[in-house]
Structure 1
Amino acid sequence: MQAEHDKTKLLVRAVRGGRFKGRKPNGDWFAASDGEVVKPTPVDLVLAVAALKCFTCGHEIEEHSVRELSEEEQKGKRNKDKKRCDGGSAAEPCSCVKTPDEIRAKQTDREWIAQRLASVMRERDLPGADRVCAATVFDGLRGPAVETEGSHA
């Protein structure tokens, strides 16, 4: 159980999805990131927090602005004061051009998570960083129930 806790904590840190808080008394796993993310299994938690923020610019993907305002919109008083996800004004295009769907697709990919985990393990001088791969990144963690062909309920 402690190994599962430690690996989940390391994975949440690797994907920079917030701070891992642990396990609730009801068995759910949770992390804090501008609020609470609660999921039933460690794998679900890691995948959920991986898609919270853009790893390129560090801003929440829900607030990601990828469109430039038209000249008419730029002239409006309200739009001059609007802030974008990267801190600039809304009158300029966002410096990060990824869409929320692109960010989610990339950052919930096992290969990307494995690369991030290996990087964090090397930074912390933890053994096994060279053995991390997409196939083994979630080994030892409880994940979502997967139906296999021929299994009976």
Structure 2
Amino acid sequence: MGESVWDIIDRYKAEYDKVKRLLRAVRGGRFRGRKPNGKWWVRFGSGRATLDLLADTPEELVRQAAVFRCGDCGHKTTGHRRKSKEEASCVGVSCTCKATQAEIIAKQSTTAWIAERAGLTERELFRGVRGPTSIVSSVEDAHG
């Protein structure tokens, strides 16, 4: 016999909670879950400054959110003000970050950095998180 609907719901809820915890660990906006088209969704900012990140897989979403903000100063990596045309460092008044956008992205896009922030090992980081699948097809498969 296949998996019951309740087992599928429990698995989806566990996956949702894990992705939410990973996004909080990497300072990643407000997690909104999945859209009806299957895309995973996180929102940064509010009002007119709102930016939505969409991804096909939860792993891709966590990686995008991890590099969106500097892990040291919290500023957006895409919004760092430039000291000169070649150098893109954060020069905000309350910011002490001297890293360039490329350095921040290179450091924070690694599985090791995300795992360290989440307090997990690299092996268990994305365990239990699926790739892009349809919820309807999973339920249909369970009921044959």
TM-score by length of 1: 0.66
User: Which has more radius of gyration?
Assistant: 1
Cα deviation per residue 1:119-144 (whole Å; 9 max; x = unaligned)? xxxxxxxxxxxxx2112211111248
- 1:3 is matched with which residue? 14
- 1:60 is matched with which residue? 76
Kindly tell me the number of residue pairs found equivalent between the two proteins: 113
Q: Name structure 1 gaps, 5 residues minimum.
A: 70-83, 89-93, 119-131, 145-153
Distance 1:85 1:108 in 2: 18
Amino acid corresponding to residue 118 of structure 2 in structure 1: L
- How much has 1:7 moved relative to structure 2? 0.4
Amino acid corresponding to residue 134 of structure 1 in structure 2: E
Match of 1:133 among 86, 110, 121: 121
Cα deviation per residue 1:35-88 (whole Å; 9 max; x = unaligned)? 11111110010000001011111111122246369xxxxxxxxxxxxxx95543
Q: Please tell me whether the aligned partners of residues 83 and 91 of structure 2 are also in contact (alpha carbons under 8 angstroms).
A: no
User: Does structure 1 residue 40 correspond to structure 2 residue 56?
Assistant: yes
- 1:104 is matched with which residue? 105
Distance 1:42 1:86 in 2: 32
Q: Which has the higher contact order (CA 8 A, sep 6+)?
A: 2
- How much has 1:4 moved relative to structure 2? 0.8
Moved beyond 3 Å, runs of 4+: 84-87
Q: Please tell me whether the aligned partners of residues 12 and 20 of structure 1 are also in contact (alpha carbons under 8 angstroms).
A: yes
Distance 1:24 1:68 in 2: 40
Q: Give the secondary structure class of the aligned counterpart of 2:78.
A: helix
Q: Give the secondary structure class of the aligned counterpart of 1:7.
A: helix
Match of 1:15 among 26, 43, 46: 26
User: Does structure 1 residue 50 correspond to structure 2 residue 38?
Assistant: no
